[in-house]
Structure 1
Amino acid sequence: MMHLEEITAAVSLGQAGDREAARAQLTALWDAVDDRQTRCAIAHYLADVQDETSDELTWDLRALEVVEDTAWLPSLHLNLADDYRRLAHPLQAEEHLQLAREHLHLLPADGYGEVIRSAVDHVTEALATGNTDRLSSNPST
């Protein structure tokens, strides 16, 4: 993937707590890159370093718009479901949870796949109880 090192460095900044620097670097990459797969990754990670749920939703929707590799679909739909749940839009949240479930078969049978499967259950439970708080399973925390 083109620009992989820069994306990885920006994601590391976000994980270390410097979300502002991560946003700046990822936004610059978004503006500089035009291949869809790389833009999907950048938008997916940009969503994770937003402070406001509405901004997170914007970047998750951008990632979905440019997705080419279907392996991203379970995670993208899960993130959108969680965004909509936190924004108190339960119908949209349920719609994306269903789409996430329909694409779970694309995930590997490894730790990453289990994290996404578990997060689908976590978001489903939160939606069922009307919980709109950010969950510990959210990558933005």
Structure 2
Amino acid sequence: MVDERREATPEDGVLTRIGQAIMLHRAGDREEARNRLSALWHEIGPQGDAFHRCTLAHYMADTQDDPRDELDWDLRALEAAEGFVTERPPAAAPQEPRVADGPGPRHPLVALRAFFPSLHLNIAADYAALDRPADARAQLRRARASVNALADGEYRQGLRDAIDRLQLRLDGIAGAR
């Protein structure tokens, strides 16, 4: 199975560098992760590969200190994913009815589709942090709708649980007003 994945996805230096920055962030070096991702963002540029831009922006959002900046990066990730999916000719779309479990390295279109529930969930959380509950609820609806395209598994269930937790938090905010 591992060999099949390697054949389907050639070695990608950009994704490797994104992964290295993610490891720095998870190890507690948020600033260095942000610096590396920022440099890579400028290297890729606005016309760069949509999968790379989506992945990078998705993780760059997590390194932000200001919720408005986090929202900006999450929106960039969503924009890159939506642009890639809508610009692809129908013949290029995979014929699989379900997206594989998680946004790991596969055909870029399949991987980007697997990002959608997480992207919408992150944007909903950003809006909640900015005290914009109506916008947060709208994104949660999109997250719920897109999570159904995922194959059953831990990734899908984890997203459903996170969606439910944020919904409960938003409901609690509404009840407290």
**TM (normalized to structure 2)?**
0.71
Length, aligned pairs only: 131
Cα shift at 1:32: 1.1
1:46 matched to which residue of 2?
60
Task: Name structure 2 gaps, 5 residues minimum.
Answer: 1-11, 85-111
Cα-to-partner distance string for 1:59-114 (whole Å, 9 max, x where unaligned): 00110111132221100000000100111001100100000011011223222222
Residue identity matched to 1:35: D
Residue identity matched to 1:13: L
Give 2:36's match in structure 1, choosing from 25, 45, 70.
Answer: 25
Give 1:59's match in structure 2, choosing from 65, 69, 73.
Answer: 73
Give 1:11's match in structure 2, choosing from 8, 17, 22.
Answer: 22
Summarize the alignment of residues 81-100 of structure 1 with structure 2, pairs less than 5 Å apart.
81-100=124-143
Cα shift at 1:16: 0.7
Give 1:114's match in structure 2, choosing from 152, 157, 163.
Answer: 157
1:130 matched to which residue of 2?
173
Equivalents in 1 of 2:53, 2:27: separation in Å? Answer: 22
Equivalents in 2 of 1:108, 1:86: separation in Å? Answer: 30
Cα shift at 1:2: 4.8
| Secondary structure of residue in 2 paired with 1:114 | helix
**TM (normalized to structure 1)?**
0.88
Equivalents in 1 of 2:43, 2:149: separation in Å? Answer: 30
Higher-Rg member (1/2) = 2
Equivalents in 2 of 1:61, 1:100: separation in Å? Answer: 14
Equivalents in 2 of 1:31, 1:121: separation in Å? Answer: 36
Identity of aligned residues (%): 44
Instruction: Compute the RMSD of aligned alpha carbons.
Output: 1.3
Asked whether the 8 Å contact 1:2–1:38 carries over to 2, the reply is: no
| Secondary structure of residue in 2 paired with 1:3 | helix
Q: For structure 1, which segment, 101-110 or 78-87, has the greater mean C-alpha deviation from structure 2 after superposition?
A: 101-110
Equivalents in 2 of 1:125, 1:38: separation in Å? Answer: 33
